[in-house]
Amino acid sequence: MRAQSRASTIIVALALAALACNTLIPPRPPVEWNPAADSLVVEASSTGGMLPDFNYVPAARLWGDGRLVWSEYDSHGGRSIQTRTLTPDEIKALIVRIENEGFFGWNDQYSPGVVYDAPITCLRVSLTTTAKSVCEMVSGAPAGFGRLFTELGSGAGQPGTEFAPERGYLTVTRLQSGPSDEATDWAAETLALSLADAQGGLWIEGPALARAWEAVNADSVFTLLREEDAIYQVQLLVPDVTLLQPPAP
């Protein structure tokens, strides 16, 4: 029994030492990533809680070819989606910045305990040799977590240009009743699309997509469109931009 107790003590001591080492001297994996355009290298997102996520665009997403897309919000809840392209040197500098904050030595999850109906905020990094995610619910993450999330959500320190999708997958649900004064008008003849035809979901582009995208960005949580006397709730999915991905064309 004494030998078993001694072995247990040694195991616990080694585990604590490893944890302390990760915290004080966090791992620094090689700064290498998959450069493919469809390889998601960095993502910052905040999902869940009381609000639906079906039109949600993550705070930031960076792909291997340097394409960065991020979302910004104004004081009225309006959303602007920005984009720019990072050079390989800029991607490397960003990953080094993440490493310098100690990201790869942080815990996978932080929270003050059992929490209900609160969003979960996550940072994810995928490199050639490793992938790691760190998530915070309410509080508890290191201060660097918030700094990185803010930096990514502002274009990694550089301005971008307004993102305009080329295609989107529109699905609408007709409401039996709804706040018509909060709905955006939909001119079916002008836009060459009746919302009734989108109740099962369909791909759109051109003026119809531009109008739907404008409406979703004005209120991404509960987007409403009005066609004549009918009110529809809207979901618009854009490949690689919205959190939820559309079905294959």
End-to-end alpha carbon distance in the chain: 65
94: its two tokens: 């960003």
- Average pLDDT in the chain: 90
pLDDT grade, residue 24 (50/70/90)? low
CA 228/CA 63 separation, integer angstroms: 41
Question: Residue 182: its pLDDT value, please?
Answer: 83
Q: Write down the CATH superfamily of domain 40-162.
A: Mago nashi (3.30.1560.10)
Tokens 């918030």 map to which residue?
A: 146
Rounded to two decimals, the pTM is 0.85
CA 75/CA 59 separation, integer angstroms: 16
Domain ranges of the chain: 40-162, 168-237
* Sequence-distant (≥ 6) Cβ neighbours of residue 162 within 8 angstroms: 80, 81, 82
Tokens 């201060």 map to which residue?
A: 143
DSSP lists the bridge partners of residue 120 as 47
CA 41/CA 30 separation, integer angstroms: 14
Share of the chain above pLDDT 70, in %: 89
In the 8-state DSSP scheme, what is residue 61?
E
- pLDDT tens profile 47-101: 987 767 889 999 999 999 999 999 999 888 889 999 999 999 999 999 999 999 9
Residue 21 has pLDDT above 70, yes or no: no
What distance separates the 2 farthest-apart alpha carbons in the chain?
84
Tokens 């079905």 map to which residue?
A: 247
* Sequence-distant (≥ 6) Cβ neighbours of residue 43 within 8 angstroms: 58, 60, 61, 62, 122, 123, 124
Residue 13 has pLDDT above 60, yes or no: no
CA 127/CA 215 separation, integer angstroms: 36
Least trusted range by pLDDT, from 9-13, 21-25, 206-210? 9-13
